[in-house]
Homo-oligomer: A and B are copies of this chain.
Amino acid sequence: MRSDAARLAVLTATAALFEERGYDQLTIEGIAARAQVGKQTVYRWWPSKGAIIAECLLEGLVLPETFTPPDTGDLRADFMTWVERIFRVLEQQRGQDLLRSLIAAAAEHPDVGRRLRDALAAEASFVRRLRSAADADQVSPDVPLLELGEALAGTIVLRALSREPIEPATAGRLFDAVLAARHPLDPPR
């Protein structure tokens, strides 16, 4: 029977080391040492360090909660706020490194990839906000919400990979290009 103490120790140790040193400095040996756990205990339950990170993501031990957008009723403003929040994280070296580390983990571990997409481009993210806008008839119903969300998240990922900073203006331009025509900008009335 599995020991919950060991499981938690491994996950928190992993989250800590991941934040401190990044994905490719992460070491199963290091995790076991930090968690005061035998290496075999790690290998018994996880096939790879990617799998551990995936579980950390699932438990919310890695990604900050800031990534969920507000909902003030003004879709564009909410979008800008959301983008700005993300930027505030990505402006710091630490934030970029964390995202890139996640991307690296995702590249070699399917589960991490799925969770990353969930976190950035699915229900947990701006897509939810978009959907609520659609429900409130602020956005034309034929807008492919999920695809748009992915496009926005994809932009962020690509920028993180190329180390190209995104300016707020860029974000605004993108939003307008993508949505301006599709939602009655200033609520009609």
CB–CB B170/A159 < 8 A = no
- Kindly state whether residue A121 has any CB partner on chain B within 8 Å: yes
Total interface residues on A, CB under 8 Å, equals 42
CA distance A155 to B155 in the complex (A): 8
A115 to chain B: closest residue by CB = B162
Contact indicator per residue, chain A 143-187, by CB within 8 Å of chain B (1) or not (0): 110011011111111110111100000100110011001100000
A144 touches which of B108, B162, B174, B182 (Cβ 8 Å): B174
A154 to chain B: closest residue by CB = B154
Q: Is the interface of A mostly helix, strand, loop or mixed?
A: helix
CB–CB B174/A147 < 8 A = yes
CB distance from A98 to the nearest CB of B (A): 11
- Kindly state whether residue A103 has any CB partner on chain B within 8 Å: yes
- Kindly state whether residue A100 has any CB partner on chain B within 8 Å: yes
CB–CB A152/B150 < 8 A = no
CB–CB B150/A159 < 8 A = yes
Residues of A8-28 at the interface with B, using a CB-CB cut-off of 8 Å, are 23-24
CB distance from A106 to the nearest CB of B (A): 4
CB–CB A162/B104 < 8 A = no
A179 to chain B: closest residue by CB = B177
Find chain B residues with CB under 8 A from A108 CB: 24, 100, 104
- Kindly state whether residue A53 has any CB partner on chain B within 8 Å: no
CB distance from A161 to the nearest CB of B (A): 4
CA distance A157 to B144 in the complex (A): 18
CB–CB B110/A103 < 8 A = no
The 10 A-B residue pairs with the shortest CB-CB distance in the complex, in nearest-first order: A154-B154, A181-B181, A117-B162, A151-B151, A104-B107, A113-B161, A144-B173, A106-B161, A147-B174, A113-B162
9 A–B contacts, CB within 8 A, in A order:
A104-B107, A117-B162, A121-B158, A144-B170, A144-B173, A148-B177, A151-B152, A152-B154, A154-B157
